[in-house]
């Protein structure tokens, strides 16, 4: 008897005492763990070049990449390239999202529209988007329009598919609640369908944005005089690997930042979600 | 008065779910519909709710024909079906969007207190237990004060204790405004504890087989001999509706089991 009383008492003090400090520690441990590999590799390479184990010409050490970024930004060139690329992505993303949302919503909501539109859209989706480049240049010229349209094409498909799929998979039982409360068509869309598709929509926006960043590089490869893609090509042609890597690093930072902006911008709208992600995030 | 006149339903796949079902249900009456699987109980309820159209016959409420969801008819489903993106309070106020915000808040607060969930007003549905979620669903259906409340096996997904608790709670809430309750159930115990009348249905095609009046004063004692007698009568009717032979005279038969599938 005495044992059984004592054991739980011991356990409970354990539970209270141990996780409190470790929880605070874990909060910093997780990102730190993720940084370990890239920072470790960068440091190792820096040291290897410093020790003269490699001349670092084709694979410049981090310090040189950083110096290139500082140099580019001092001359104001970097800002010009970033603004050019960002505005292309913004315009293409906006266009692709608008078209994808509209057509996806129409196809998802009306069966006849899906039967009419979807086969064509799916056939177009099967074409690698880069294959459009020559045609876009012929049709729209070599300047901004063809670039923005190419990015928009890349963004369009995931958004279209995401919206259509999300509308189709809205729980019939929830829709029935709306019907039982006699919601009109517009109220049904506003009060049931929109909130129900929001999580999938946000996901498709993030996938679309990722493709937007991918396609801006392709677009800037097809003849641009400014932009981060231009920096890549310029670095290749003039044999400046540090400039190429600098542009890649900036691409990574911009891509991650814009994705993060979508994530935190929509987080308040998705607090209600009850999913695996939330569980593991809370654990 | 809710009047069902010769309701029939044949699904597009040819299944004859309901045939010439007629009944009259007075305002404030509690009626339980019970029957074997596939006897058209849910089809009947959905036709009354206006969610599905009957292929023949009519539903009238106070002489108004019902063919689509109606403001005077509320429904509670087997699952709570709460909207996951709305707080508990907003779920309860879902059917009150036409009211001014202050009045809506008052009604919601009163309903929350009435179902004992005042402290959960700002919780998300995912944070509720099964019983709590079904309480919210009941509050959501009752707060617009329907004349008729339809319940489609509302407690069948709950454990026995919670089920009993909610049955008593439902009766308690019903006493506030005394709407007509029409309840579809598998549970003989539930039918006898709640209903003034039990309608036993017979399958393929679903139709009315027998009507049993439960002349027991409320609150009903689930352990009384009289309660047991009514249960046995309903069970016997169910067995006969499926053409099973029942040793009627044998009092020791196990025809008193609470759940009947």
Closest CA to B234 of B255, B220, B251: B255
Mean pLDDT across A215-227: 88
Model confidence pLDDT, tens digit, residues B134-180:
989 999 998 888 899 999 998 888 888 888 888 888 888 888 889 99
What pLDDT, on a 0 to 100 scale, did the predictor assign at position B257? 46
Q: Is 50 exceeded by the pLDDT of residue B46?
A: yes
Place of tokens 């039990």: B198
Mean pLDDT across A239-244: 90
Average pLDDT, chain A: 85
Q: CB of A236 within 8 Å of any CB in chain B?
A: no
In whole angstroms, give the CA distance from residue B57 to residue B66. Answer: 11
Q: Which residues of A touch B125 (CB under 8 A)?
A: 272
- Return the sign of the alpha-carbon dihedral for residues A12, A15, A21, A27: negative
Q: What share of chain A is helix, strand, coil (3-state, %, to 5)?
A: 85, 0, 15
Between the alpha carbon of residue A256 and those of residues A30, A214, A259, A262, A271, the distances in Å are: 18, 13, 5, 10, 22
Question: What would the two tokens of residue A217 be?
Answer: 């590089």
Mean pLDDT across A164-182: 92
Partners of B185 in the β-ladder: B34
CATH code where residue A110 lies: 1.10.3720.10
According to DSSP, the β-strands at B197-202 and B207-213 are antiparallel
Taking CB atoms and an 8 Å limit, are A195 and B85 in contact across chains? yes
Residue B248 banded pLDDT, cuts 50, 70, 90 = low
Q: CB of B74 within 8 Å of any CB in chain A?
A: yes
> Contact at 8 Å (CB) between A228 and A247?
yes
In a domain, B89, yes or no: no
What pLDDT, on a 0 to 100 scale, did the predictor assign at position A207? 94
Model confidence pLDDT, tens digit, residues A57-94:
888 888 899 999 999 899 888 999 999 999 999 999 99
Q: Is 50 exceeded by the pLDDT of residue A4?
A: no
In whole angstroms, give the CA distance from residue A216 to residue A213. Answer: 5
Model confidence pLDDT, tens digit, residues A200-220:
999 999 999 999 999 999 899
Q: Assign B223 to helix, strand or coil.
A: coil
In a domain, A130, yes or no: yes
Residue B250 banded pLDDT, cuts 50, 70, 90 = very low
In whole angstroms, give the CA distance from residue B169 to residue B128. Answer: 17
> Contact at 8 Å (CB) between A192 and A183?
yes
Residues 6+ apart with CB under 8 A from B38: B17, B203, B204, B206
What pLDDT, on a 0 to 100 scale, did the predictor assign at position A83? 94
**pTM exceeds 0.90 for this model:** no
In a domain, A45, yes or no: no
Domain membership of residue A224 as a residue range: 62-269
Looking at chain B, the whole-number percentage of residues with pLDDT higher than 70 is 93
In a domain, B126, yes or no: no
What pLDDT, on a 0 to 100 scale, did the predictor assign at position B256? 43
Q: Which residues of A touch B51 (CB under 8 A)?
A: 176, 179-180
- Chain B nearest CA to A282, separation (Å): 14
Q: Is 80 exceeded by the pLDDT of residue B258?
A: no
- Return the sign of the alpha-carbon dihedral for residues B114, B117, B122, B124: negative
Q: Which residues of A touch B69 (CB under 8 A)?
A: 179-182
**Which site among B42, B53, B78, B85 would you substitute to test the A interface, given the most A Cβ atoms closer than 10 Å to its Cβ?**
B85
Residue in B with minimal Cα distance to A192: B83
Q: Domain total for chain A?
A: 1
Q: Is 70 exceeded by the pLDDT of residue A191?
A: yes
Place of tokens 């339809």: B150
In a domain, A30, yes or no: no
In a domain, B123, yes or no: no
In whole angstroms, give the CA distance from residue B241 to residue B200. Answer: 8
Q: Which residues of B touch A193 (CB under 8 A)?
A: none
What pLDDT, on a 0 to 100 scale, did the predictor assign at position B197? 93
What pLDDT, on a 0 to 100 scale, did the predictor assign at position A16? 43
Taking CB atoms and an 8 Å limit, are A173 and B49 in contact across chains? no
Phi, psi (degrees; rounded to nearest 5) at B185: -150, 160
Instruction: DSSP letter for B217, please.
Output: P
What pLDDT, on a 0 to 100 scale, did the predictor assign at position B255? 45
Average pLDDT, chain B: 86
Question: What would the two tokens of residue A3 be?
Answer: 């044992």
Please work out, in degrees rounded to the nearest 5, the angle formed at the alpha carbon of residue A164 by the alpha carbons of A159 and A168. Answer: 150
What pLDDT, on a 0 to 100 scale, did the predictor assign at position B17? 84
Which member of B84, B85, B95 has the closest CB to residue A181?
A: B95
ipTM score for this prediction: 0.84
CATH code where residue B60 lies: 3.40.50.300
What pLDDT, on a 0 to 100 scale, did the predictor assign at position A9? 42
Mean pLDDT across A39-60: 88
State the greatest distance between any 2 C-alpha atoms of chain B, in Å, as a whole number. Answer: 61
What pLDDT, on a 0 to 100 scale, did the predictor assign at position B215? 87
In whole angstroms, give the CA distance from residue B233 to residue B248. Answer: 10
Residue in B with minimal Cα distance to A272: B85
Residue B216 banded pLDDT, cuts 50, 70, 90 = confident
Q: Domain total for chain B?
A: 1
Model confidence pLDDT, tens digit, residues B88-136:
999 999 988 888 889 889 889 988 888 888 898 899 999 998 889 998 9
In whole angstroms, give the CA distance from residue A150 to residue A171. Answer: 35
Mean pLDDT across A89-116: 94
In whole angstroms, give the CA distance from residue A179 to residue B75. Answer: 11
């Amino acid at each position: 008897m005495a044992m059984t009383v004592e054991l739980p008492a011991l356990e409970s003090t354990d539970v209270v005492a141990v996780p409190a400090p470790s929880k605070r520690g874990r909060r910093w441990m997780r990102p730190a763990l993720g940084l370990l590999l890239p920072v470790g590799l960068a440091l190792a390479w820096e040291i290897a070049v410093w020790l003269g184990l490699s001349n670092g010409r084709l694979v410049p050490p981090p310090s040189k990449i950083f110096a290139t970024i500082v140099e580019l930004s001092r001359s104001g060139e970097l800002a010009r390239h970033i603004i050019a690329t960002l505005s292309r992505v913004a315009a293409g993303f906006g266009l692709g999202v608008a078209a994808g949302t509209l057509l996806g919503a129409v196809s998802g909501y009306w069966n006849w529209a899906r039967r009419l539109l979807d086969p064509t859209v799916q056939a177009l989706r099967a074409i690698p988007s880069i294959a459009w480049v020559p045609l876009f240049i012929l049709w729209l010229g070599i300047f901004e329009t063809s670039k923005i349209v190419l990015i928009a094409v890349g963004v369009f498909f995931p958004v279209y598919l995401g919206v259509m799929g999300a509308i189709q998979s809205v729980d019939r039982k929830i829709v029935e609640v709306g019907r039982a409360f006699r919601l009109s068509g517009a109220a049904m869309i506003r009060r049931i369908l929109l909130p129900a598709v929001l999580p999938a929509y946000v996901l498709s926006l993030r996938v679309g944005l990722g493709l937007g960043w991918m396609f801006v590089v392709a677009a800037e490869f097809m003849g641009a005089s400014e932009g981060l893609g231009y920096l890549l090509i310029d670095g290749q042609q003039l044999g400046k690997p540090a400039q190429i890597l600098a542009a890649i690093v900036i691409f990574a930072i911009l891509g991650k930042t814009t994705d993060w902006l979508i994530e935190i911008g929509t987080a308040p709208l998705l607090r209600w979600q009850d999913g695996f992600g939330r569980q593991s995030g809370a654990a | 008065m809710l009047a069902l006149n010769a309701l029939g339903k044949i699904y597009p796949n040819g299944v004859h779910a309901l045939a010439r079902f007629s009944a009259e249900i007075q305002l404030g009456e509690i009626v339980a519909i019970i029957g074997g699987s596939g006897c058209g109980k849910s089809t009947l309820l959905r036709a009354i709710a206006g969610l599905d159209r009957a292929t023949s016959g009519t539903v009238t409420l106070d002489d108004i024909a019902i063919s689509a969801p109606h403001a005077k008819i509320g429904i509670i489903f087997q699952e709570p079906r709460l909207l996951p993106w709305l707080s508990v309070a907003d779920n309860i106020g879902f059917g009150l969007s036409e009211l001014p915000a202050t009045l809506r808040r008052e009604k919601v607060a009163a309903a929350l207190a009435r179902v004992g969930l005042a402290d959960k007003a700002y919780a998300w549905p995912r944070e509720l237990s099964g019983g709590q979620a079904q309480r919210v669903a009941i509050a959501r259906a009752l707060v617009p004060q329907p004349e008729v409340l339809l319940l489609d096996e509302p407690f069948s997904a709950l454990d026995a204790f919670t089920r009993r608790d909610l049955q008593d709670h439902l009766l308690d809430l019903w006493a506030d405004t005394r709407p007509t309750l029409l309840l579809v159930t598998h549970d003989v115990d539930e039918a006898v504890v709640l209903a003034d009348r039990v309608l036993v249905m017979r399958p393929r095609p679903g139709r009315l087989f027998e009507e049993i009046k439960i002349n027991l004063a409320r609150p009903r004692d689930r352990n009384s001999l009289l309660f047991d007698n009514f249960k046995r009568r309903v069970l016997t009717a169910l067995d006969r509706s499926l053409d099973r032979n029942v040793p009627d005279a044998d009092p020791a038969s196990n025809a008193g089991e609470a759940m009947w599938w």
